[in-house]
Structure 1
Amino acid sequence: MTRRRAAQLGVAAALTIGLPLSLTSTQLAADAAPAPSSAAFRQAVTVGGVLQHERVLQRIANRNDGSRASGTPGYDASAAYVAKRLRAAGYDVRVQNFTFPKFTENAPATLTQDSPVATDYETETFEYSGSGTVTGPLTAADGNTVPVTAAPGETNAGCSVSDFDPAPSEDAVALIQRGTCSFGEKAQYAQEAGYDAAIIFNEGQDGRTDLPGGTLGEPGDIPVVGLSYADGAALQEQLEGGAEVVMTVATDTSFDPDAQTSNVIADTRGGDRDRTLVVGAHLDSVDGGAGINDNGSGTSTILEIAEEMAEAGVKPRQKVRFAFWGAEESGLLGSEHYVDSLSDRALSRIVANLNFDMVGSPNYVRFVYDGDGSDTDPAGPPGSAQIEELFVDYFDSQDLASAPTQFSGRSDYGPFIAVGIPAGGLFTGAEGVKTPEEAAIFGGTAGEPYDPCYHQACDDMTNLSTAALSEMGDAAAHAVLRLATTRTGFFEDGSFRQATRERTAAQDFDNHGNHAAR
C-alpha cells in the first residue's frame, strides 16, 4: 500500500480537533466549532489499500481448499493476518476465542416423488437439518393454503403439534407451508407428531415463490428440505385430490457442537472508553467459497480505515473498537458471543455499532440501513436514525444516490440492536435482484442479482466492483471519522446514550444471519 507522508501529515493536522457530528439543527447550534471536511482522510483510505487486503484473503483461501469458513484453517489464517496488521498499526488487539455449533452439508439434498408419478424436484437442505434418507407417505399440515390468501408471513401452517395428523406409518413425511412461525418450530412440531422428515415449501406471495433458503436455528434430528411454492402447491393439490403420494427425502449433513473459532478485536489506544464506537465486519466466508465480497470487502474496508487512522495520527474522542467477527455465516455467532460476554456496564459504554457487510457487489446499489424505519420495519434503537442520516447526507454531498435497506437480522448489527445499541452501516446487495428502477438510478443490470456469486465458489477477486469499494469505502471512512471525533452525541441534549435502553427479542427478526428464519 502506498503511503504519502505529506498527505498523512495533512490528515493528522485536520483531525486533531474534534469533528461535531452535525446531524441535527439542535446539535449544530450546540457545537460552536465548525466541522472540517473528511476529504483528506477519505483520500488516504484507498481502493488500492482495500484490494491489497483482499488479495491476501484470496491467497489464504487458495491455500486452504478455497474457503475461509469459521472452524477451518483458512479462517484461522485470516484472523492471524488481520491481528498482525492491527498490532503493527499500534492497536490493542485481542483474539476472543469461542466454540460454536458448526453445521456442514456434505452433499446436496435430493427430493423425489416415488408415486403415483415418479418426479424429481429441485430442493435444498435447511441449515441444521438432520441427516438421513426417509421414504414414506406424504401428509399435509393443517393450514397449508393453495392458492395462498394471507399476507406474506401470515400463513399459519405447522405452528403447533395439533396442526399435524398422527404420522400414518413408521416412515412418514410432512408437507408444510412457510408462514407465521419459524422453520425450526415447524420442523420440531412435525417431529413431535411422529414425522421422520419435513418438506417446507415457500408461501407464494411476491418474493416468496422460490426455494425458501432457511435455517432451523439450532440442530435438528430429522431431514428438512425446502421446495418452491409452485412445486409445493402441486403436491398439496395432489393430496387434496385424494392421491396417495410417496416421497423420498435424502440429506447428508454433519454437526460439530464444539468447533473452535474467534473474533479479532482491536481498540484505539486513545479515546474515552466510556464512549466506545464498535466498527464491525464479519471475517468468515461460507464453506464453499473464498468470500471475497462476502465479506472480504467489509473486512478489508475497515482494516484499511483502521490502518489509515493510525498512520494519520487521528486522535479520537471516543474509543474506536474495530471488530472482525467469526461464525457470522453460522448465524451471527461471533457478534452474539461478543455481546453476550459483556456486562451491563460494558454494554452501556458502547455508543453505536457500524456494520459493513458486502460493500463491493458487482451489480451494486448504495444501500444504507434504515435506522429510522421510515421505509422499512423495524426501526433501529434511538440513535440509529442519526447514523442513517450521517450516511445519507454524505452521499447527497457527493451527488450519489442511496437507498434504504431493512434491519432484517441478516448481519452482525443484529445482536447490538437487540440490546438497544444504535446501529447503522452500508450494504451493496446479495442474492436479491436489481429492479429496473434501481438500474435507472444506480446503473448496472436490471433483472440480475446484485452479487451473482453470492455464497458460491466464484466469490473471488473477479467478483468485485472497484467503483462500489471506492464509494462505500469513502462513506465508511467519513462516518467512522465523524463518530470517532464528534463532541456531541446522537440526542438533542448532546448525550451519546439514553438513560435506559430497550432490549428487543432477537427472534423477532425474519432472518438469522444470511438465512431466513421463517
Structure 2
Amino acid sequence: MSTARPSRRHGAIAATAAAALIAGATPAAMAASPNANNNTSKKLRQAVSAEGIMEHLRALDAIGKANGDTRASGTPGYDKSVDYVVQKLRAAGYSPTVQPFEFPYFADNAPAVLERVSPNPATLGTGTFTFSGSGDVTAAVQAVDINLEGSRASTSGCESTDFAGFKAGNIALIQRGTCAFGDKAVNAEAAGASAVIIFNQGNSPTREDLMIGTLGGPVTKLPVVGASFADGASLAAAGTVARVKTDTVSQMRTTYNVFAETKAGDPNNVVMTGAHLDSVAAGVGINDNGSGSATILEVAEQMAKVKPTNKVRFAWWGAEELGLLGSEHYVANLSEEEQKKIGLYLNFDMVGSPNYVRFVYDGDNSRYGEGQAAIGPEGSGAIEDMFHDYFASVGLASEETPFSGRSDYGPFIEVGIPSGGLFTGAEDVKNAKQAEIFGGEAGVAYDKCYHQACDDISNISVKGLDEMSDAVAHAILTYAFDSRTVNGRGEGRPVSPPGQHVDGTPVNTSGSSEGGGLHDHEHEPEA
C-alpha cells in the first residue's frame, strides 16, 4: 500500500503484489465459452457477467414471490433457493453438498398491540419481542419488582422469588435489566402469567425509547411485548387493566448450508468464499443477499474448468439473518485440524446496493480500531490491500467499512482464519463526499429497501454489481493460485501478468463513520 496507509504486512505484499493485480477494466459483457478454462483474472472477469448474475437474481426473485414473498430460512422460499443453487452447481459439473441444521425460527405475522383498557383507555407504542408466543390477552397488570426511581439498574423478573404473590392469569409488568429477557419471560410463565410487558429502565439515557428485544429462542408460549419507561410506569398504577396481542410463529425448524468445491487444488490450503442465501421474513432479499449469492454462483460456474493450486470451496449460508447461524454451525463443527486447512475466507454480503459505495472490510483495523470493530486475524490486512489495489488498478475508488464481525466472516475470524470481503452499503445514508466520489445520491440510504419488502429485482444497481463482481472474481482466482501474501502458503503462478501492480489507497470520506451501516444482526438487545 501507499506510505500514507501502511499495513502490518506491507513488506510481504509489496514483494509479491506485482503478480497479484491487473490494470485496466475488461467489459463484463464479453461472454466466454462454457467450456473455457478461465484461469487468469482477465479471462474470469470477462466470463463473469452482470447479465449472468442478473439471471440468477431473477430466478431468486421469482422463487421468493411464488412462495409467500420471502426466502427466509425455514420457509419454502428458502428451500427452493437451495434447490436452485444445487441444480446450477450440478449442471456446472460440481458435486454440491447440503448441510442441514436445526435453528430457532421466528416470524411476526402482524404488528403487536398494547392497550391500556382502564383507567384512561389508550393505545400505547409497542413491538413484539423476537421469539414471543402468540395470544390475545386482556387482564389485570401486576408489576414484578420494578424500580421507577431510576436510581439503580433493575433486577425485575430475574429470580423466581420476584414473583412471590403473583396472581395467576395476570399480565406481568417487568423491567429491563440485569438478566436476559428470555429468563424474565420463563420466570413469568412459571408464575402463571398470561402475558408479559417488558419496559425500559429509568436510569437509561434512552429510557423513553420503545423497549424491544429478543428472548434468545422459543423459550415461552406467552405473548411478550415491549414498552417505553413512561408507558411502563403508567401501567404500574394499581388497578390497571391492559390488552396484549401478538401473532407469531416461534419454533425449531431445519434449514441448510450449501457447499461446492473444485476437484483440483491443495485440500490443506482451502480458499473459501461465501454469501448468505436467506432473506429476512419481510421480503425476497435480492440485494440482501441474493446479490452476493448470485455473484459467487456465477463465479463458481465460470471456474468449473479451472484447476487451481489451492482448493476453492464455495458456501451459501442459511439463517444468517437470525444471527449468522449457518456459518456458526459450520465453523463450530469443524475440527481444529479442519479449521487450519482453511487458508482464508472471503465474504460477499450485499454487493449490488442501488446507491452504492465500493466498501472493503478494514482487515488491518487501520481506520476502525479496537472498540469499533473486530480485530482481523493476521493476513486479513493483506486481503483488504488486495481489494483496494485491484480497484485502483481499474481506475475505481474504494473505501473502508468496519470489520464488525456481523456478517458470515464473523465465525471465521473468531477462530483465527484470515478474512475479508466487499459490501456496497445498507441502511446508512450516503454523504455528499461519497456521492462526489462514487456517484449516486447524497442524503439517501445506500439501500433504502434494506430489510424491506421492496428489496426485489428492482433494487439492484447493475453497474455496481458489474464492478463488484469483477473484484470478487479477481480475488477468488488470485488466491486460488497463490495465497502467499495472506498466509505464506499456496505458492503457485500469478493469474495476472507481472509488472502491472497498482498501489491503491482507500478514500476516507469524513462524516461516514459507520462505513455503510454495520449490517447489524445483533440489533436486538438480549438484556
TM-score (norm 1): 0.77
Structure 1 CA distance, aligned partners of 2:82 and 2:183?
35
Pairwise CA RMSD of aligned residues? 3.6
Query: What is the deviation of 1:70?
Result: 2.5
Change (3 A) 1:57 1:414: same
Query: What is the deviation of 1:302?
Result: 0.8
The one of 249, 261, 268 aligned to 1:254: 249
Is the CA contact (8 Å cut-off) linking 2:132 and 2:248 kept in structure 1? Answer: yes
> Which residue is equivalent to 1:110?
113
Secondary structure at 1:249 match in 2: strand
Is the CA contact (8 Å cut-off) linking 2:171 and 2:197 kept in structure 1? Answer: no
Is the CA contact (8 Å cut-off) linking 1:280 and 1:302 kept in structure 2? Answer: yes
Q: Map 1:73-112 onto structure 2 (within 5 A).
A: 73-112=76-115
Query: What is the deviation of 1:266?
Result: 0.4
Matched, 1:161 2:159: yes
> Which residue is equivalent to 1:317?
309
> Which residue is equivalent to 1:393?
389
Structure 1 CA distance, aligned partners of 2:375 and 2:207?
23
Query: What is the deviation of 1:439?
Result: 4.7
Secondary structure at 1:407 match in 2: coil
Deviations, residues 158-207 of structure 1 (Å, cap 9, x unaligned):
59439967575431333434x77654455456657776544445789899
Structure 1 CA distance, aligned partners of 2:207 and 2:389?
34
Matched, 1:425 2:421: yes
Matched, 1:27 2:45: no
Structure 2 CA distance, aligned partners of 1:317 and 1:209?
58
Structure 1 CA distance, aligned partners of 2:18 and 2:424?
34
Structure 2 CA distance, aligned partners of 1:29 and 1:431?
36
Structure 2 CA distance, aligned partners of 1:101 and 1:236?
29
The one of 452, 455, 458 aligned to 2:451: 455
The one of 475, 478, 481 aligned to 2:474: 478
Amino acid aligned to 1:66: D
> Which residue is equivalent to 1:61?
64
Query: What is the deviation of 1:361?
Result: 2.1
Structure 1 CA distance, aligned partners of 2:88 and 2:200?
45
> Which residue is equivalent to 1:11?
none
Report % sequence identity.
49
> Which residue is equivalent to 1:381?
377
Secondary structure at 1:346 match in 2: helix
The one of 298, 311, 329 aligned to 1:304: 298
Q: Map 1:108-147 onto structure 2 (within 5 A).
A: 108-134=111-137, 135-137=139-141, 139=143
Structure 2 CA distance, aligned partners of 1:395 and 1:24?
19
Query: What is the deviation of 1:144?
Result: 7.2
Amino acid aligned to 1:462: S
> Which residue is equivalent to 1:223?
223
Query: What is the deviation of 1:32?
Result: 9.4
Query: What is the deviation of 1:336?
Result: 2.4
Change (3 A) 1:288 1:377: closer
Change (3 A) 1:327 1:167: farther
Q: Map 1:282-431 onto structure 2 (within 5 A).
A: 282-310=276-304, 313-373=305-365, 374-375=367-368, 376-397=372-393, 398-409=395-406, 411-431=407-427
Change (3 A) 1:180 1:248: same
Structure 2 CA distance, aligned partners of 1:468 and 1:201?
43
Change (3 A) 1:270 1:192: same
Structure 1 CA distance, aligned partners of 2:207 and 2:57?
34
Deviations, residues 299-348 of structure 1 (Å, cap 9, x unaligned):
111111112222xx433222111111122233322222222332222122
Amino acid aligned to 1:427: F
Change (3 A) 1:118 1:185: same
Structure 2 CA distance, aligned partners of 1:318 and 1:94?
19
> Which residue is equivalent to 1:5?
none
Secondary structure at 1:388 match in 2: helix
Change (3 A) 1:401 1:138: farther
Structure 2 CA distance, aligned partners of 1:208 and 1:369?
34
Is the CA contact (8 Å cut-off) linking 1:380 and 1:407 kept in structure 2? Answer: no
Structure 1 CA distance, aligned partners of 2:206 and 2:302?
41
Structure 1 CA distance, aligned partners of 2:301 and 2:94?
9
> Which residue is equivalent to 1:13?
none
Query: What is the deviation of 1:426?
Result: 2.1
Secondary structure at 1:459 match in 2: coil
Is the CA contact (8 Å cut-off) linking 2:346 and 2:419 kept in structure 1? Answer: yes
Amino acid aligned to 1:479: A
The one of 35, 49, 67 aligned to 1:46: 49
Structure 1 CA distance, aligned partners of 2:460 and 2:18?
39
Which piece of structure 1 moves more, 84-93 or 393-402? Answer: 393-402
> Which residue is equivalent to 1:14?
none
Is the CA contact (8 Å cut-off) linking 1:111 and 1:123 kept in structure 2? Answer: yes
> Which residue is equivalent to 1:16?
none
Structure 2 CA distance, aligned partners of 1:307 and 1:115?
64
Secondary structure at 2:243 match in 1: strand
Q: Map 1:256-271 onto structure 2 (within 5 A).
A: 256-257=251-252, 259-271=253-265
Query: What is the deviation of 1:81?
Result: 1.6
Change (3 A) 1:36 1:367: closer
Amino acid aligned to 2:341: R
Deviations, residues 462-516 of structure 1 (Å, cap 9, x unaligned):
111223312322222222222222251425xx258xxxxxxxxxxxxx9984653
Structure 2 CA distance, aligned partners of 1:163 and 1:277?
53
Amino acid aligned to 1:465: S
Structure 1 CA distance, aligned partners of 2:519 and 2:194?
26
Change (3 A) 1:29 1:327: closer
Structure 2 residue ranges without an equivalent (≥5): 1-6, 23-40, 491-517
Is the CA contact (8 Å cut-off) linking 1:367 and 1:405 kept in structure 2? Answer: no
Is the CA contact (8 Å cut-off) linking 1:131 and 1:254 kept in structure 2? Answer: yes
TM-score (norm 2): 0.76
Query: What is the deviation of 1:296?
Result: 0.8
Change (3 A) 1:202 1:414: farther
Query: What is the deviation of 1:461?
Result: 0.8
> Which residue is equivalent to 1:516?
524
